[in-house]
């Protein structure tokens, strides 16, 4: 489902456990990333699993190049900080990193 939401040029992979990472090149506006995050959250919420009574949600952290960093490691760490901000605010959404 996640790979289907992005283009062939985007990098989608599993970071470990239940964490995934997406690297999207050439985003012209922050709003495009926010729209994609909202789309992913909605798709995850709509997943139905037989005999599962709970809810499924996702938490997303976003960082932008070069605004927030210029290295993969730096951007990853800032997106991770934004991710945990989303989790601390109740999960089931996204947060863009802010300085």
Q: How confident is the model at residue 3 (pLDDT cuts 50, 70, 90)?
A: confident
The pLDDT of residue 2: 86
Query: Is a pLDDT exceeding 90 seen at residue 83?
Result: yes
For every residue of 38-85, DSSP letters joined together read: HHHHHHHHT---TT--S----EEEE--TTTT-SSHHHHHHHHHHHHHH
Q: What is this structure's pTM?
A: 0.90
The two three-digit tokens of residue 56, written as one number: 């499924």
The pLDDT of residue 29: 92
Q: What is the mean pLDDT of residues 67-76?
A: 95
């Amino acid at each position: 489902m996640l790979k289907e939401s992005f283009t062939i040029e985007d990098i989608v992979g599993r970071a470990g456990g239940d964490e995934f990472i997406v690297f999207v090149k050439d985003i012209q506006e922050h709003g495009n990333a926010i729209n994609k995050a909202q789309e992913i959250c909605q798709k995850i919420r709509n997943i139905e699993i037989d005999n599962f009574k709970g809810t499924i949600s996702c938490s997303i952290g976003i960082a932008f190049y070069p605004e927030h960093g210029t290295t993969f490691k730096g951007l990853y760490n800032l997106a991770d900080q934004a991710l945990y901000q989303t989790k601390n605010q109740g999960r089931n959404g996204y947060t863009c990193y802010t300085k």
